[in-house]
Structure 1
Amino acid sequence: MAFDGIAVSCLRKELADRLTGGRITKIVQSESDELLLTIKNNGAQYRLLLSASASLPLIYLTETNKPAPMTAPGFCMLLRKHLGGGRITTVTQPSLERILHFEIEHLDEMGDLCRKTLIAELMGKHSNLIFCKEDGTILDSIKHVSLAVSSVREVLPGRSYFIPHTQDKLDPLTTEPEAMVTAICRKPVTLGKAIYTTLTGFSPVMAEELCYRSSLDAGRPAAALGDTEQTMLAHQLLRLMESIREGSFAPTIYYKGKEPIEFSALPLTLYEDLEQTRSDSMSGILEQYYATKNTLTRIHQKSADLRRIVQTALERSRKKYDLQSRQLADTKKREKYKIWGELIHTYGYDVPEGARSMEALNYYTNETITIPLDPTLSAQENAKKYFDKYGKLKRTFEAVTGLLQETGDEVTHLESVQTALDMALTEEDLVQIKEELIEAGYIRRKGGGKKVRITSKPYHYRSSDGFDIYVGKNNLQNEELTFQFASGNDWWFHAKGVPGSHVIVKTEGKELPDRTFEEAGRLAAWYSKNRGGDKVEIDYVQKKHVKKPGGSKPGFVVYYTNYSLVIDSDISGLDVL
């Protein structure tokens, strides 16, 4: 779901109701593109998060505090200078744009009352937080945009602020419904696309919802609408805009199973059959919907260097594996050369000088074969040539077989590290993965420093039947769980044939019920490369049957007797302790 203009309108109403008249008591720039403002109003304290992240721009009220960095960035210092102790007078939204204006009054150094505007633009990769004077002159922004970056608008200190109207969309709050429908029907695209490319504030989902309310197919050509259908569309547009003007919002998250798939500020009748969670607060909906996504986005950004190192090493190892595989395939001819040499020794005594081939009975298969000969060599010299080829290919086979095994193990190890990076949720998880890469020689330890302190711990779940289940987040944790933490009669689970976590169920000497086996299997499926699959094959066995080959990579194990189950990767009924 795009954080569209309608969702911003709902959020504006909530922020205006709660923050108007409030004083800003604290300003923190917790990330390079994110602010956290603490505001006191009517005896209550609010925290307002403003994120200009290119991948996940957001604004909402939250109860979660964030630590301030040791040194505040320049933009944060400027805001503290001007806005510390300032009072929010209005929260407005121009049209249905994804923009909010916070008008703030404060006293300058001379004690005179001044007004400033903090503008939050939530426009994907163009998102920004811009601080302006009352006359619209930009004082600073969290992201500087020069003409070299954008030919549409500079966002730099001293420039005038304006909203770039690059798409020439209609304002649905001020345009007559019939005029909007006429403009929509002129577009040579599908009806759904025509709506969200014609009207400000509409996302593809809201465009589809409008079509659904009008009993129209969003995929049909917009130009094909008849008069009656245009009237129905105009009527539903009018009702939708009345709801927005009156503030009749109903913030809701829609679920498919336990997975949130959509949120909206207005009821989505096209999802009326899905499970729903409704709230009076758009901030609560946004925080609930985006909390995990925002965490994953941030961690993904912070793990970019590690991902690049792993990806580079993985590509190099895969190329090496392919080359070695081809070299090994070439050695398959070695037995043929050995047989040819033997047959020339056996039957070559009557081969005429200068012959280019000879026929002989292959006593291994009882078939007559033709053996090519070098006419410049004698029969014995031809035999020696084939024995030499056989010997060379045999040595190559023996050497490459070992190298291929090593390279294959390296590819498997790097793929498991890649999966661990995908599952990482905290910076502590990344620290341990980095330590593994250092120990494996992919990264040099800076300055010959000591090994870092590891604080990341395995996930701890409890089954519906009361059994403790532990899940490793990376190879080092997998190694520790399986060979140091688990007892011999505990059960060990792992997704078959793909990188994933070791899952340990502590039995405490008891028999496990079927439900616990299923729940542990789901955890093994979820924490693997096959996450999200409906049918994931899981191997499980008692820990005493799991062995670690000498000299193998962290987390690598072998087992020769095991059970298997096929299960989905839905762990919605299980919560981390």
Structure 2
Amino acid sequence: MLYIDGISLSKLKDELDETLKGRKVTKIFQYSPLSLSVFLGKLNLYVSATPNLPICYIATKKEVAPDKPMSFSLSLRKYLVGAILTGVEQYKNDRILLLSFEKVNELGVKQKVKLIVEIMGKHSNIILVDDDWMILDLLKKFSIEENKLRLLMGGARYQFPIITEKTSPEDVSKEEFDNYLAENTLIQNIDGMGKLTAKYMTDYSKFYELINESASPTLYKENGIIKYGTIVNLPLAGYEEVKFESINGMIDTYILETLNSEQFNNQKRTLAKVAEKELKKNKKTIKNINRDIEKYSTYEKYKKIGDILAANLYSLKGYEKSVTLYDFYENCNIEIALNPQKSSNENLDNYYNLYNKHKRGYQHSVERLETIKSEIIYLESILSFINHAQDKKTLEGIEEELIANKYLKKIIKTKKKKKIAKITPPTAEIDGFTVYYGRNNIENEYVTFKIGDRHDLWFHAKDVPGSHLIVKTNGEEISEETLYKVGELASQHSKVGQGETIRIDYCLKKYVKKIKGAKPGLVIYSNEKSVFVKKG
């Protein structure tokens, strides 16, 4: 969660104003219906109105813009390219930024416009207005029926959202603060105060420090995963703290390392779609194979009929439509259909041919069924790794795996040969033992067969896709408590729901064998023991 309330935004506003004021707009790109970049020289001011993470900050990474520009970006280019950013302001202490621009148009007239960034969850928007606050264009357009509180459409006069009048943080006295605190109404009475900020405001001195001290951009991590990003100093206990010199630096790191990056989510959806499409195709193939198995499973009956005909061949006249003979397999008479246009020997050969054909078809179908089942297990593991991916590097590894196994075509972006990325599986320290685990099947195979020693311990969730784990034991005994902790780590990286109990198998690495001809990461193992853990 990237936490930005009105008070936090005031500090981001100051940093943006100090960094960008006086710079000229050189380029504008719109990446999606809800996100765009305004380049001021080499600085990339990224603005997004996505409901899950509306934001305005200086980004380091450039996203790929579509070949055909979107309409809103064309309006922005018309009014902003070549303009100077003259200042960044905040409306009261609300989550609304006002970016003022000024340029001389083709007629030599000085033109002033504002880009209004409303950072308000699902109601977020980006609106371009002229010097008289008339709307020139906006990112999200609404009809009168959709938004009856204010008119948001081109040509209308811009109106700020209707908000409850509150006291500015700078104007709150100690007496007022103490009353609000006692009544638990800090949020209702102090402008820009968010829930998380209010939670830690235990007295006026802390509130005074919060308002007047410099920004303290911090990421709070748990087991290496970002849980919170804050601009102001909030005492979130129990987390590893990573401090930043700038607010934009913290937001940029948060965006790049979490699931909230639009580019990350797009890549994740693309890869998941590839795996899901292949899964759907293979599951349809399974149905067809099962039909073939049912069709060919009666091949023995043709051999029996052939044997009965062979035993009675001397008594057959030939060219009959059918014949009734004694079935020495079932100890009864049986009527056998024959082709009247063929001789007895030809009918006999026909039944033996049907036997051989159906037997081959049955054996082929059974073998193919096992291959497709193995393929489905592999694809489900791919999908599980995609769903668990929490950074772009992990997705890149999965993408390379899909390309290597010909599920995905490689897109050649440059003539230069791309260096083959070194496989570097992540590690964890548990009770003094180093634990390696894979984030995709290639890493799983590397962890098991390259990193794992014969006498190291190997872990994997039973019968569900997930990571292979290797515990480097160095010959030491591992306690039951440590085994359980490693099992918990295995459950976190497996396809099992939160709160479910799962069986984690473990054995010495020497008992793990790769399946010949199988996809990466598919193994068999023996001499295993198990630990049952609940996924937290």
TM-score, scaled to structure 2: 0.67
SS in 2 for 1:462: strand
Q: Deviations over 1:21-80 (max 9, x none)?
A: 983423898983266999xxxxxxxx999752535233488xx96446799x88599768
Aligned CA distance change for structure 1 residues 426 and 339 (closer, same or farther; 3 Å): same
8 Å CA contact 1:361–1:368 kept in 2: the answer is yes
Q: Structure 1: give runs of 5+ residues left out of the alignment.
A: 39-46, 166-170, 175-238, 264-274, 278-282, 571-577
Aligned CA distance change for structure 1 residues 358 and 122 (closer, same or farther; 3 Å): farther
CA distance in 1, matches of 2:346, 2:188: 94
SS in 2 for 1:303: helix
Instruction: Identify the residue that residue 15 of structure 1 maps to in structure 2.
Output: 9
Query: Deviation at 1:297?
Result: 5.6
Instruction: Identify the residue that residue 52 of structure 1 maps to in structure 2.
Output: 48
Instruction: Identify the residue that residue 244 of structure 1 maps to in structure 2.
Output: 188
- The counterpart of 1:557, out of the listed 497, 501, 523, is 523
CA distance in 1, matches of 2:305, 2:383: 48
Query: Deviation at 1:427?
Result: 2.5
SS in 1 for 2:524: coil
Query: Deviation at 1:295?
Result: 3.7
Query: Deviation at 1:467?
Result: 0.5
CA distance in 2, matches of 1:123, 1:243: 16
CA distance in 2, matches of 1:391, 1:70: 58
AA of the residue aligned to 1:558: I
Q: Deviations over 1:466-485 (max 9, x none)?
A: 11111111111111111111
- The counterpart of 1:371, out of the listed 318, 334, 337, is 334
Instruction: Identify the residue that residue 208 of structure 1 maps to in structure 2.
Output: none
Q: How is 1:405-420 mapped onto 2 (pairs within 5 angstroms)?
A: 405-420=370-385
Instruction: Identify the residue that residue 358 of structure 2 maps to in structure 1.
Output: 393
Instruction: Identify the residue that residue 360 of structure 1 maps to in structure 2.
Output: 327
Aligned CA distance change for structure 1 residues 535 and 321 (closer, same or farther; 3 Å): same
Query: Deviation at 1:535?
Result: 0.8
Query: Deviation at 1:559?
Result: 1.4
AA of the residue aligned to 2:425: P
Aligned CA distance change for structure 1 residues 382 and 105 (closer, same or farther; 3 Å): closer
CA distance in 1, matches of 2:285, 2:158: 55
CA distance in 2, matches of 1:431, 1:413: 18
Aligned CA distance change for structure 1 residues 442 and 481 (closer, same or farther; 3 Å): same
Aligned CA distance change for structure 1 residues 349 and 395 (closer, same or farther; 3 Å): same
SS in 2 for 1:558: strand
Instruction: Identify the residue that residue 468 of structure 2 maps to in structure 1.
Output: 502
CA distance in 2, matches of 1:248, 1:130: 21
State yes or no: 1:336 paired with 2:301.
yes
8 Å CA contact 2:259–2:390 kept in 1: the answer is no
CA distance in 2, matches of 1:451, 1:550: 30
- The counterpart of 1:545, out of the listed 511, 520, 528, is 511
Aligned CA distance change for structure 1 residues 346 and 160 (closer, same or farther; 3 Å): same
Q: Deviations over 1:72-130 (max 9, x none)?
A: x885997685453x334442478xxxx62426587989xx9997543223566774322
8 Å CA contact 2:53–2:121 kept in 1: the answer is yes
CA distance in 2, matches of 1:544, 1:57: 47
Instruction: Identify the residue that residue 454 of structure 2 maps to in structure 1.
Output: 488
AA of the residue aligned to 2:458: W
Aligned CA distance change for structure 1 residues 129 and 340 (closer, same or farther; 3 Å): same
8 Å CA contact 1:328–1:400 kept in 2: the answer is yes
8 Å CA contact 1:317–1:411 kept in 2: the answer is yes
Aligned CA distance change for structure 1 residues 133 and 316 (closer, same or farther; 3 Å): same
Query: Deviation at 1:392?
Result: 0.9
CA distance in 1, matches of 2:529, 2:16: 62
CA distance in 1, matches of 2:420, 2:267: 19
CA distance in 2, matches of 1:262, 1:452: 35
8 Å CA contact 2:90–2:98 kept in 1: the answer is yes
Aligned CA distance change for structure 1 residues 21 and 380 (closer, same or farther; 3 Å): closer
AA of the residue aligned to 1:121: E
Greater mean alpha carbon deviation, residues 349-358 or residues 545-554: 349-358
Instruction: Identify the residue that residue 190 of structure 1 maps to in structure 2.
Output: none
Query: Deviation at 1:336?
Result: 2.6
Aligned CA distance change for structure 1 residues 492 and 82 (closer, same or farther; 3 Å): same
8 Å CA contact 2:459–2:505 kept in 1: the answer is yes
Instruction: Identify the residue that residue 459 of structure 1 maps to in structure 2.
Output: 426
Query: Deviation at 1:405?
Result: 2.8
CA distance in 2, matches of 1:76, 1:469: 52
TM-score, scaled to structure 1: 0.63
Aligned CA distance change for structure 1 residues 354 and 480 (closer, same or farther; 3 Å): closer
AA of the residue aligned to 2:484: E
Number of equivalenced pairs = 455
Aligned CA distance change for structure 1 residues 444 and 51 (closer, same or farther; 3 Å): same
8 Å CA contact 1:130–1:138 kept in 2: the answer is yes
Instruction: Identify the residue that residue 211 of structure 2 maps to in structure 1.
Output: none
8 Å CA contact 1:102–1:119 kept in 2: the answer is yes
